[in-house]
Structure 1
Amino acid sequence: MENVARPWAALWSLVIGFFMILIDTTIVSVANPRIMEGLNADINSVIWVTSAYLLAYAVPLLITGRLGDRFGPKKLYLAGLVVFTAASLWCGLSGDVQTLIEARVLQGLGAAMMTPQTMAVITRIFPPDRRGAAMGIWGATAGVATLVGPILGGVLVDGLGWEWIFFINIPVGVIGFILALRFVPSLSTHPHKFDIPGVLLSAVGLFLLVFGIQEGETYNWGTITGPITVWVLIIGGIVVLAAFVAWQRVNKGEPLLPLGLFKDRNFSLANVAITAVGFSITAFTLPLIFYYQIVRGLTPTQSALMMIPMAVISGGLAPVVGRIIDRVNPKFITAGGLTLMSVALFWNAALMHTDTPIWLFLLPSAVLGVANAGIWAPLSSTATRNLPPRQAGAGSGVYNTTRQIGAVLGSAAIAVLIQARLAAELTAAPGSAGGASPMAFGGHLPEALHDGFSAAMSQSILLPAAVILLGTAAALFFAKPQPPRGWGTPGAVLAADSGQAVADGAEAKRS
């Protein structure tokens, strides 16, 4: 642990920027129908507005974590904040969906520069016996941001227009920059080599996989150009990612993905669980928002207000959970939260009919709030608790990468499932337009098609409800956390780093 006079001021300064970049993973969901109308875009294009952000966010996280270790987390965080804020201005000024997608890619790159630094700073300025409380704040921020995004988006879209979901980032970014510049400490750096082949393999593999999944329904899972099919892209992405893992194993230098981190059981399992969380959180909001606005006729603000119980309960309980996870085994809290999330999503699916009283949806919303409070802080604390200081950036980069990969796959998969179920349900519905595309609702669906649309959204939400159970299974196998050893004492960091260096050298010789 590095000696910092005001660690809590540093934490709150980072939380502002972290909150902003996480809001942008979900804030677009409530604005999708308006963006479709305003930019004359189809549903697949508008989903790429989210997927492009998530993909550009996920791919660089491994290397930006290392860059933070090498050049200092404060410098990387501030540079990323500048990029993110400038890209937000570009998003708001976009006149067509293609430009908006390009601006979202730049936003994602800025977010990727910032995110690993938040966890790395927490890991380095708080000892393990106080890190739970700090991670409680970090977890509350992550949980509440994913829920507040649609609420804030609804208010802005109705009051000022969809462009303002991006313009709002500009003053927040300026304030966050000033506070981080003043309160975030300049921590010591560690020399790192950069794994260029690893960067290229991971980027190409993820792009091929996500593009293939998301575009599959558009091309009827067939030919794109000539002999190249969607399945070639998907299988190619898997092969390239497998080659990436193999390269990380044989790389004699300093691999981009330190596979040694996964020898820690809790780190490995926490990464499995957070991947499922990223997938489900990103995937469930889209069918729910479309149902509220297209079938039930709610405005963006009204549909976003349906999520208030989630945000209020999650924000209230998360700091409480953060204070107790240092004293109890987080396994049971995490598994309980993940199970409750699945229950709430299955409950939502059961309610999604045209005649369900709208207030009933507030009940699973409340359950989701309790679930979120029990997920974010225990998972992040479990993942980082045993990391040595020199690997804080790499570890947080891996953890955030797996979360974002889950989010990218969730966004792509839910897009495919929604399109497939709409094609099936609306084609079979009375009064449907035969071969007309079910995507051509443009925010206004004939009442005769409401039952089919509701069924399609209900069926789609079953996917994230099932995937989150994989996270539950992983959490049930968490090992009981070991008491902190060596942190906070003179020379502890040096000893930890020296010990790790010896271990790294021994591992290299064995290889």
Structure 2
Amino acid sequence: MPTPRRPARPAMILTIICLSYFMVILDNSIIFTGLPKIEEAMRFTPTGLTWVQDAYTLVFGGLLLGARSGDIVGRRRMFVIGLVLFALASLLVGLASLLVGLAPWSWWLIAARAFQGIGAAILAPSSLSLLTASFAEGHQRARAVAAYSAVAGIGASAGLVFGGVLADVVSWRAGFFLNVPIGVAMVFAAYRYIGETERRQGRFDLIGALCATGGMTALVFGIVDAAEVGWGAPSTIIAIALGIVLLAGLVVNEARAAQPIMPLRLFADRRRTGAYLVRMLYLGAMIGFFFFFTSQYLQGVLGFSPLHVSALT
């Protein structure tokens, strides 16, 4: 692969990529401080409320096809597609949130959050692959990747702060509508300042992506459902069994696929496998902490407002 040339406007390209990725990370955490208000307005059960976040993160994690798709159809094209889907899904989430008190629209909110996850699953890896294609290896790329990595940490923390301020001062719905103008602006900016990359031949590992997403969704559904109906309930047992079967199918598919979404050879290295496990445990603990501490405990038990919670975080 030829070494990427220095982009004509590196600062502008980096700004577009980082701002788009910031939007994805922000949406992962901005929801937490507003969850009690969402539960009250949309009449969610405690179990149903968890899916407002789970629908986004499960689809986001399972359908990470952006990098491979970018190689095949063009990285800028996939980047723009991810932006469009993410902005459209944010609009749908916002519209669903306006139809308060209607149970069907509560589930539309969850479906729209899953749709957001599809956009994020395309946008996040596409932004990173576009960054590596736009900046030459060495000092230039190292600085760009450092800025990109910083955005991830800042976005996760800023989401809690913005979410609390918006939920208390404006509305918890404002965070969703905010993505729409930003997404539209980034689409036009991407077409103006970012060039298209060379296409390559390849295949989509749709079976692997569907097995990963479906397996984890079924497994999480079974665990969450057990809190209401018990571990021995048929729905719980069937969901967990289905999740195990799909995840086993994922492993079998990845061993046979020509271009797997999760190459099993990556786990042959102990250090890499250890890093994956640590990352998984860290993110699992962080998301769980955000959900139970910021929304359930601080607001539900101690009676703090979303604004107070954002100040604490």
Q: TM-score, normalised by structure 2?
A: 0.88
Structure number, greater radius of gyration: 1
Residue 164 in structure 1 maps to residue 174 in structure 2: yes
Query: Contact 2:226/2:236 (CA < 8 Å) preserved in 1?
Result: yes
Separation in 1, partners of 2:77, 2:202: 16
208, 211, 225: which is aligned to 1:201? 211
1:209 to partner: Cα distance: 1.4
Query: Contact 1:4/1:185 (CA < 8 Å) preserved in 2?
Result: no
1:368 aligns with: none
CA offsets 1:155-194 (integer angstroms, 9 cap, x no match)? 1111222211211112221222222222233122221022
Separation in 2, partners of 1:132, 1:277: 25
Query: Contact 1:146/1:281 (CA < 8 Å) preserved in 2?
Result: no
| Equivalent residues in 2 for 1:103-114, closer than 5 Å | 103-114=112-123
1:56 aligns with: 59
CA offsets 1:60-87 (integer angstroms, 9 cap, x no match)? 11x3321111111211111111111111
Which shows bigger deviation, 21-30 or 131-140? Answer: 131-140
1:247 to partner: Cα distance: 2.2
Query: Contact 2:209/2:261 (CA < 8 Å) preserved in 1?
Result: yes
Separation in 2, partners of 1:271, 1:27: 25
1:284 to partner: Cα distance: 1.0
130, 147, 162: which is aligned to 1:121? 130
2:302 aligns with: 296
For the structure 1 residues 200 and 167, does the alpha-carbon distance in structure 2 shift closer, same or farther, using more than 3 Å as the test? closer
Instruction: Give SS of 2:31's match.
Output: helix
Query: Contact 1:17/1:81 (CA < 8 Å) preserved in 2?
Result: yes
Residue 246 in structure 1 maps to residue 252 in structure 2: yes
Instruction: Give SS of 1:189's match.
Output: coil
**Structure 1, unpaired ranges of 5+:** 308-511
Q: Which of the pair has the greater relative contact order for Cα pairs under 8 Å at 6+ separation?
A: 2
| Equivalent residues in 2 for 1:12-31, closer than 5 Å | 12-31=15-34
Separation in 2, partners of 1:210, 1:7: 42
Separation in 2, partners of 1:231, 1:169: 38
Query: Contact 1:206/1:241 (CA < 8 Å) preserved in 2?
Result: yes
Residue 183 in structure 1 maps to residue 193 in structure 2: yes
The percent identity for this pair of structures is 31
Separation in 2, partners of 1:176, 1:152: 20
66, 73, 95: which is aligned to 2:75? 73
1:487 aligns with: none
Residue 153 in structure 1 maps to residue 163 in structure 2: yes
Q: TM-score, normalised by structure 1?
A: 0.56
For the structure 1 residues 139 and 56, does the alpha-carbon distance in structure 2 shift closer, same or farther, using more than 3 Å as the test? same
Query: Contact 1:201/1:240 (CA < 8 Å) preserved in 2?
Result: yes
1:196 to partner: Cα distance: 3.8
Residue 140 in structure 1 maps to residue 168 in structure 2: no
Query: Contact 2:86/2:119 (CA < 8 Å) preserved in 1?
Result: yes
2:102 aligns with: none
Instruction: Give SS of 2:203's match.
Output: coil
- Give me the CA root mean square deviation: 2.1
1:297 to partner: Cα distance: 2.6
For the structure 1 residues 200 and 288, does the alpha-carbon distance in structure 2 shift closer, same or farther, using more than 3 Å as the test? closer
CA offsets 1:41-68 (integer angstroms, 9 cap, x no match)? 222111111111112212211x332111
| Equivalent residues in 2 for 1:227-246, closer than 5 Å | 228-246=234-252
**Structure 2, unpaired ranges of 5+:** 100-104
Instruction: Give SS of 2:202's match.
Output: coil
Query: Contact 2:62/2:210 (CA < 8 Å) preserved in 1?
Result: no
1:287 aligns with: 292
1:18 to partner: Cα distance: 0.8
2:49 aligns with: 46
Instruction: Give SS of 2:218's match.
Output: helix
Separation in 2, partners of 1:123, 1:261: 21
Separation in 1, partners of 2:150, 2:14: 13
Separation in 1, partners of 2:168, 2:48: 22
1:310 aligns with: none
2:264 aligns with: 259
**Count of aligned pairs:** 301
Separation in 1, partners of 2:129, 2:172: 34
1:264 to partner: Cα distance: 5.6
